Amino acid sequence: MSDPGERLQKVLAQAGFGSRRVCEDLIADGRVTVNGEVATLGRRVHPEHDRIEVDGVPVGVRPGLVYYLLNKPRGVVTTAHDPQGRRTVVELVPSDPRVFPVGRLDADTEGLLLVTNDGELTHRLTHPSFGVEKEYVAQVEGRPSRGAVRRLREGVELDDGMTAPAKVALIEPNVLRIVIHEGRNRQVRRMCEAVGHPVVRLVRTRIGPLRDPKLRPGAWRPLETAEVRALERATTRGAEQVEG
Ligand code: URA
């Protein structure tokens, strides 16, 4: 059976247009279009694909909020200011409006980093209770055995406690793909070290629904509206689970 999609008023409410009741009124008043056609109550949509507008303005990205996906190069620090004078990630993206990195990557780690001025989304993406997945590709010393991979999957003891179960695959004899949903300091490096395979190179290749294998190190691009919506949905689902 094909996915019927989500109720339009729910999608509008999640995008910040008010309660579902208020959003139903927007629809009833003929102010909402889906793919160019005026929507009626009961309409279901696929937010990733359908173009939704309220009063002719696309839904999903609120005015004034910017979202950049950056491929952080090695050696650049994930802070707004570095006392040691190293290059920072905010120097690689436009300076106005002022933006902040979402979470952090070590200076030595490369790969995808979201930079935004959306504080609420930042909170949801970094709070462990939302459990947004992050995928890393780690080149390690030595050749991890099946036992080492299993330990990484099941959880390893670190000095701040056991790690949660992770998705781990050996994609080359010395390269692991690791998906975690916690965000502890230097977590992937410490996990690999704990099983006897220190990391040589670490690249983040996915943040929840966001991937971009074509983005070059040091380059950034704005998120597409559908990507912002996908991130909101990834964190909203977490919220529903947390609230239970
Ligand atoms: N795990 C690490 O060890 N380093 C990072 O930068 C991100 C995750």
Among 79-83, 148-152, 173-177, 187-191, which stretch is predicted with the lowest mean pLDDT?
A: 79-83
Which of these, 80, 83, 107, lies nearest to 91 by C-alpha position?
80
pLDDT digits (tens, 9 = 90+) for 175-197: 999 999 998 999 999 999 999 99
Residue 29 annotated to the active site:
no
Distance 31 CA to ligand 1 centre (A): 45
> What are φ and ψ of residue 62, in 5° steps?
-85, 150
Average pLDDT on 131-153 reads 97
CA end-to-end distance (rounded Å), the chain:
27
Q: Give the per-residue pLDDT at 16.
A: 65
Nearest atom (ligand 1) to Cα of 180: 8
Which of 189, 197, 204 gets mutated to test ligand 1 (max ligand atoms within 8 A of its CB)? 189
Residue found by looking up tokens 């971009």 in the block: 212
Distance 199 CA to ligand 1 centre (A): 10
Residue 100's pLDDT band, with cuts at 50, 70 and 90, is: very high
Pocket of ligand 1 contains residue 106 by CB under 6 Å: yes
Name, in order, each residue with C-beta under 8 angstroms of 126's C-beta and a sequence gap of 6 or more.
102, 103, 183
CA 206 to chain CA centroid, Å, is: 7
DSSP bridge pairs for 179: 135, 167
Give the chain's mean pLDDT: 89
Average pLDDT on 117-127 reads 88
Q: Is the pLDDT of residue 159 over 50?
A: yes
> What are φ and ψ of residue 235, in 5° steps?
-85, -25
Q: Give the per-residue pLDDT at 1.
A: 54
Which of 70, 108, 109 gets mutated to test ligand 1 (max ligand atoms within 8 A of its CB)? 109
Average pLDDT on 222-232 reads 87
- Cα 75 to Cα 46, 142, 185: the distances in Å are 40, 24, 17
